[in-house]
Amino acid sequence: MNRRRFLALTAAPFLFRASSVLGATIPRALVTCDTESRIAIVDLVAGRVLGSIPVASGPKSVERVGTGLALVCHTGSGLVTIVDGRAGAVRHVLHGFGEPRYTARHPDGVHAFVTDSGRGVVGALDVRRGVVLGSVDLGGPARHVTLAPDGRTLWTALGSSASRVSIVDVSDPARPRLLHNFSPPFLAHDVGFFPDGQRTWITAGTAEAMAVYDAGRRLRLLRTDPGPQHVTFGTGVAYVTSGVAGTFRLQSLSDGSIRRETRVPVGSYNVQSGPGGLVLTPSLVHGTLCVLDARGRLVHTVKVSASSHDACFVF
């Protein structure tokens, strides 16, 4: 992409009136528009696109990292962008990554961790200053990532269908340290810490299976729809998507039983829960954003772009 044109875009008037999205009472989502070099802002009450923030080409993932802030990974160009979702502005553009993939937000609202599958590392960032603080070599293409609620332990799958999962000590957020790798019972894709911080959920890259771990020890193997699946959590439940099958499942955290299944557009892979019990899942194939309630019922299906890889809440 022409860098001069990109900088001009980010300095120009936004594609929306900022005042229309600044109201604190309006739940909003940021959604990647993968082929259109923009991040869409969606009003989750009205179920409509409010406008967009122009960014560099190929935004593949987006994650809330602080009050109003979100971090965007551009895997193809090796860039990381930090945007202010409430003001509609690009705050920082970070260089030096290989293939940045996904982000885990530290609960302090200052630090975040970005997986880099090109370099096989996890990088630690100060999101307010827009600087990389340090990194740790994991020996594989780090991809999906999850951070314990206390901010001390990070898990990441080493690939889209990973034979290994890394456990990293981030008790000092600026100096991540690899503890060890282990092999799950199938090729892993997504990882997620339970809200209690004691257990983790691992989904598969291709198998129709998921696993629940307690302190690194496998407790339960669950059957599910075709991989890759993705997982996020609510109160006493997990929300699990299968983009291949076009399903969104609400499952019990106690025994994994299915409480509800909802049809969503094929290609709805990534999933995230947020304020008010709302859950987001965008479609890579159809460019839609599905908004569901805490019970797994579909509230809105919003057409956002030609292809939408990821979404996050911003507040």
Binned at pLDDT 50, 70 and 90, residue 244 comes out as very high
| Strand order across the 199-204 sheet | 188-193, 199-204, 209-214, 217-223
Please give the C-alpha separations between residue 305 and each of 16, 172, 183, 216, 302, in angstroms, as whole numbers: 16, 39, 37, 39, 9
Non-local CB neighbours of 51 within 8 Å, separated by 6+ positions = 14, 15, 16, 17, 20, 21, 40, 41, 88
As a whole number of angstroms, the distance between CA 270 and CA 311 comes to 8
Convert 38-70 to b/e letters by CB count within 10 Å (16 or more is b): bbbbbbbeeeebbbbbbbbebbbbbbbbbebbb
Residue 26 banded pLDDT, cuts 50, 70, 90: low
pLDDT at 215: 78
pLDDT tens, position by position, 179-235: 999 999 999 999 999 999 999 999 999 999 999 999 779 999 999 999 999 999 999
Nearest Cα neighbor of 201 from 150, 238, 149 is 238
pLDDT at 10 (0 to 100): 37
CB atoms within 10 A of CB 197: 14
Name the residue with higher pLDDT: 23 or 279: 279
Q: Is a pLDDT exceeding 90 seen at residue 20?
A: no
pLDDT > 70? residue 6: no
Report how far apart the first and last C-alpha atoms of the chain are (Å, whole number). Answer: 30
pLDDT surpasses 80 at 301: yes
Contact between 41 and 55 under an 8 Å Cβ cutoff? The reply is: no
Nearest to 146 by CA among 133, 165, 129: 165
Instruction: Please state which of the ranges 98-107, 110-119, 214-223, 241-250 shows the lowest mean pLDDT.
Output: 214-223
